[in-house]
Amino acid sequence: MRLSRRQLFTGSAALAAGAAMGMRVPRAMAAAPDRKFLFFFAGGGWDTTTVLDPHFDSDGVDMDPDTSLGELGNLRFTAGDDRPAVSRFFTRWGRRACIVNGIDVHSVGHDSAQQFVMTGTSASSFADWPTLLAAHGQAAYPLPHVVFSGPSYAGQHGATLVRAGGGTLLELIDGSILGRADASAPVPAQPQNAMVDAYVHGRVASYAATRTGQGRARAEGLLTNLERAMELEGRAFEAGLSDLGRSVLDQATQASELFRLGLSRCAMIQIDGGYDTHDDVTRQAVQQEEFYAVLDALMEHLARTPGDNASWLIDEVVIVALSEFGRTPKLNGGGGKDHWPYLSGLLVGSGVAGNRVVGKTDDALVAQSIDFRTGQPSDSGSRLGCENLGTAILALGGLDPQEHLPDVEVLEAVLG
Report how far Cα 35 is from the mean position of its chain's Cα atoms. 11
CA distances from 300 to 84, 87, 401 (A): 16, 15, 31
User: pLDDT averaged over the chain?
Assistant: 88
Could you give the dihedral angle defined by the CA atoms of residues 163, 164, 170 and 171, in that order, rounded to the nearest 10 degrees? Answer: -80
If asked whether residues 177 and 127 sit together in one domain, one would say: no
Could you give the 3-state DSSP secondary structure of residue 320?
A: strand
With beta carbons less than 8 A apart as the criterion, state whether 252 and 313 touch: no
Angle between helices 84-93 and 283-304 (to 10 degrees): 30
If asked whether residues 278 and 263 sit together in one domain, one would say: yes
pLDDT band at 11 (very low <50, low <70, confident <90, very high): very low
CA distances from 364 to 49, 57, 164, 290, 368 (A): 12, 11, 41, 28, 10
pLDDT band at 246 (very low <50, low <70, confident <90, very high): confident
**Is 3 inside a domain boundary?**
no
pLDDT band at 332 (very low <50, low <70, confident <90, very high): very high
- Helix and strand element counts for the chain (H, E): 11, 12
Q: Average the pLDDT over 133-160 and give the result.
A: 91
If asked whether residues 214 and 104 sit together in one domain, one would say: no
- Residue 386 is predicted with a pLDDT of 98
**Is 7 inside a domain boundary?**
no
Q: Is residue 165 predicted with pLDDT exceeding 80?
A: no
If asked whether residues 258 and 398 sit together in one domain, one would say: yes
Q: Which of 194, 222, 240 is the last residue of a domain?
A: 240
Q: Is residue 389 predicted with pLDDT exceeding 90?
A: yes
**Is 18 inside a domain boundary?**
no
**Is 111 inside a domain boundary?**
yes
If asked whether residues 145 and 257 sit together in one domain, one would say: yes
**Is 109 inside a domain boundary?**
yes
Q: Which of 217, 240, 263 is the last residue of a domain?
A: 240
Nearest alpha-carbon partner for 415 in 306, 298, 318 = 318
The C-alpha R_g of the chain, in whole angstroms, comes to 23
**Is 16 inside a domain boundary?**
no
If asked whether residues 80 and 210 sit together in one domain, one would say: no
Residue 206's domain comprises 168-240
Q: Which of 201, 219, 240 is the last residue of a domain?
A: 240
CATH assignment at residue 95: 3.40.720
**Is 108 inside a domain boundary?**
yes
Spell out the residues 6+ positions from residue 352 whose beta carbon is closer than 8 angstroms to its own: 96, 97, 98, 318, 396, 414, 415, 416
Amino acid found at 403: E
If asked whether residues 139 and 216 sit together in one domain, one would say: no
If asked whether residues 65 and 210 sit together in one domain, one would say: no
If asked whether residues 126 and 273 sit together in one domain, one would say: yes
If asked whether residues 407 and 359 sit together in one domain, one would say: yes
**Is 357 inside a domain boundary?**
yes
DSSP readout, 349-372?
ETTB--SEEE--B-TTSPBPPB-T
How many domains does the chain contain in total?
Answer: 2
With beta carbons less than 8 A apart as the criterion, state whether 138 and 400 touch: no
DSSP readout, 371-395?
-TTT-SB-TTSBPPBHHHHHHHHHH
Phi, psi of 58 (to 5 degrees): -125, 130
Q: How far apart are the first and last CA of the chain?
A: 26
Element containing residue 79 per DSSP (H, E): strand 75-80
If asked whether residues 96 and 53 sit together in one domain, one would say: yes
> Which of residues 151 and 29 earns the better pLDDT score?
151
If asked whether residues 149 and 173 sit together in one domain, one would say: no
Sign of CA dihedral 18, 19, 20, 25: positive
